[in-house]
Structure 1
């Protein structure tokens, strides 16, 4: 008995030492790494920078444009001129050139206020980019937390299977001892060996799953897939969530709903821009230009001029084949569709929250039930093990108690994990995952 306890103690000490040798990754640290490294977040952040860069009055068409122009034309021609008095002038390889250069300014000062609507639309598109970034962050953080607690659950399962291996080895040793002294048959030893091999196979499969899940976590964190770490085993479930509070938060913070509201505003501003086409477009222009021409043949061999030019332009659409009316009608329908999408998204979120909340309540009850069931299975295993030691029960009964305990541990670990996933899903829908 003391020998068996000593082996278990050695195994526990080795496990603790191995855990200390590895880096313990907390959930807060994982979230921080994801915020810094995750590719989806970084791409969304760059898209937002693009939207911010586009929000300028120049991009909206409010500022004037200033251009510098240079035109230099040269030619070499064989020329012949016959004047009205009959005089003929001829010149081969006559050179001709003209040079024009200057600076011009064009400024649309009125376009039915369409330029201001475009500027407001650019600002709304920036807000849309911010909502999309929050959605990307929320989704990535949800993936991080879910994967983190999946690893925690698998670590618990590994610990359970390690304990099972210890018990199965004790059983094999007891069977061998009983066989040696003639109190058990060879069949009992063989059965114990087969069960130990089965438990070892299950442990290897679990180790494979555990390693692959850690690789998936490293991928989410955008770091070396072979980075080794362990996570904190404890899964703490928030049992204080209320459906009414979550629904109120979702209507204020859910990025998908927020994006639909912004899209409606964008559609309304697009309608304003289209309506602006009914008004005249007035612009002013000015500039300073220099011109010079040279000709080898003719009455004037050189001319030059420079000075200021200015003026204004005005245009107004009178008839365009009823396209203006069609465009406004389409834009109004797009505004209506945007409102319908807001209502649809609101109802979808309410339905998802109600369904997820019911799952959350059920999973909490199951977590409590499975925890109690594991405690009962552990008591049953302890009693069965003592009876098996003194030889009052057969091997099959001991194995049944052992398998029941393994199953109870697995179900409890999974129940705790599923309850945590339900909590994460609710907070994600409400836009309330902390980061």
Structure 2
């Protein structure tokens, strides 16, 4: 009678468990929703004020190219690829992502029954001082072969499912964090490469200027020897030469520092990198952006997505903490064969089984409430961190776009200034040679031309840095990404596709 009742109970419980697995379980976690953030709807003209009226402009779609296509300079691509292969921060991030993925896989196994098989032999020697039946050997062998269900919890209230969701969200967060590190490596390496080129060009300019000052000094020395120039002219030329010589020493240090920074990022000396040394130039890069961009593009940035997944993990942890207040049912069972003789181990008479359902009911456990309080506090902290990430992203993109709109005019002005200073220097030299002006006027023109040429180089470098930073801030990566404004007012999802992270 007992055996019959147990078999029916086993069948009923097994059916209930299968039904729960197939139909899902109750979840006590809060709904995953993006927090609302107080930022402007868009970047661009609609944010500008005109006579107290806000200009309304329709958000437009735009595409960010993959980084391999975004950088037209083959040397820059080579440097970035070298950095991605050797950068320790990226390797750490990828390893951390693999670690979190492993924890997720372990946690996921709790959703399904764990079945294990075991075949064993046990040899036992009974004590001679213990009563044994006549004819029974004091040494006994027991052979067994079993298949067991290892303490499977029926997830009636979603505790296990919530823990699995939390582990999954943490893995996705780590993947976005790795993508963020990769994007930072790309931007840092590109900026370091162009900083090195800019320093190289500045050094060349200083060397060219130093040569020009030396030629001027030699000319004045000859004019002095013939009685045309004065001792004052010679002293002024010598001072100008010394000034440029000191500036060249500064550019030497800046060039060495830029080279060292680039080598640190790529993980090897530049001499070990195969790149075209004849094509060292500040390449022209541009991001084609419409006048108005929907600020939802920020929701696809890896740092924002990572913060969002961390928030979802906190929601799932709240669900698990809430479910812990309710009873939990665990199933443990075993079916197999056991015999003292190996030859008849698998006979029908050798069958053995056991079934041990258990229920745990929390009665007095203050730790459960403390765990729930901790989970809810973590959720509030992560909501604030998500809002902060979005606000910082908006501020970063807004500033970079504002800078972008001014560099064109600054470059044009500096080019015009260099042209004007060159003309001024020619006229000053002609006047000096004709005896119509002092050499001081030539020196001032030379210094102003050198300063103007340096300013032009700095502006070109700053514009490149701004474009690269804007590309990173908008979430560029391994794939071409198209951003489009939402068509449904209730939809908060962008059309962007996240870039992957590969080793």
More strand by share: 1
Report 1:120-199 matches (<5 A): 120-199=165-244
C-alpha deviations, 1:152-198, integer Å up to 9, x for none? Answer: 32232123212212321221221122122221234533442343243
Shift of 1:70: 5.6
The residue number in structure 2 matching 1:34 is: 83
Cα distance in 2 for residues equivalent to 1:27 and 1:361: 25
Larger Rg: 1
Contact kept? 1:111, 1:279, Cα under 8 Å: no
Cα distance in 2 for residues equivalent to 1:275 and 1:101: 42
Residues 1:240 and 1:385: Cα distance change in structure 2 (over 3 Å): farther
The residue number in structure 1 matching 2:116 is: 66
Contact kept? 1:35, 1:137, Cα under 8 Å: yes
Asked if residue 276 in structure 1 is aligned to residue 323 in structure 2, the reply is yes
Contact kept? 1:101, 1:290, Cα under 8 Å: yes
Contact kept? 1:249, 1:432, Cα under 8 Å: no
Shift of 1:42: 2.5
The residue number in structure 2 matching 1:232 is: 280
Match of 2:457 among 388, 406, 413: 413
Shift of 1:96: 6.5
Contact kept? 1:215, 1:226, Cα under 8 Å: no
Contact kept? 1:103, 1:289, Cα under 8 Å: yes
Shift of 1:75: 6.9
Residues 1:199 and 1:311: Cα distance change in structure 2 (over 3 Å): same
Contact kept? 1:246, 1:426, Cα under 8 Å: no
Unaligned runs of 5+ in 2: 1-72, 132-136, 342-348, 480-503
The residue number in structure 1 matching 2:394 is: 350
Cα distance in 1 for residues equivalent to 2:270 and 2:143: 64
C-alpha deviations, 1:63-115, integer Å up to 9, x for none? Answer: 3142648685767978498xxxxxxxxxxxx9777767654513415133433
Cα distance in 2 for residues equivalent to 1:177 and 1:404: 25
More helix by share: 1
Please state whether the residue corresponding to 2:148 is helix, strand or coil: strand
Please state whether the residue corresponding to 1:431 is helix, strand or coil: coil
Shift of 1:243: 7.5
Asked if residue 370 in structure 1 is aligned to residue 414 in structure 2, the reply is yes
Unaligned runs of 5+ in 1: 1-23, 82-93, 294-304
Q: Answer 1 or 2: higher relative contact order, Cα 8 Å, separation at least 6.
A: 2
Contact kept? 2:76, 2:193, Cα under 8 Å: yes
Q: How many positions carry a matched residue from both structures?
A: 391
Shift of 1:411: 1.5
Cα distance in 1 for residues equivalent to 2:287 and 2:439: 42
Residues 1:168 and 1:57: Cα distance change in structure 2 (over 3 Å): closer
RMSD across aligned positions (CA): 3.4
Cα distance in 2 for residues equivalent to 1:250 and 1:285: 52
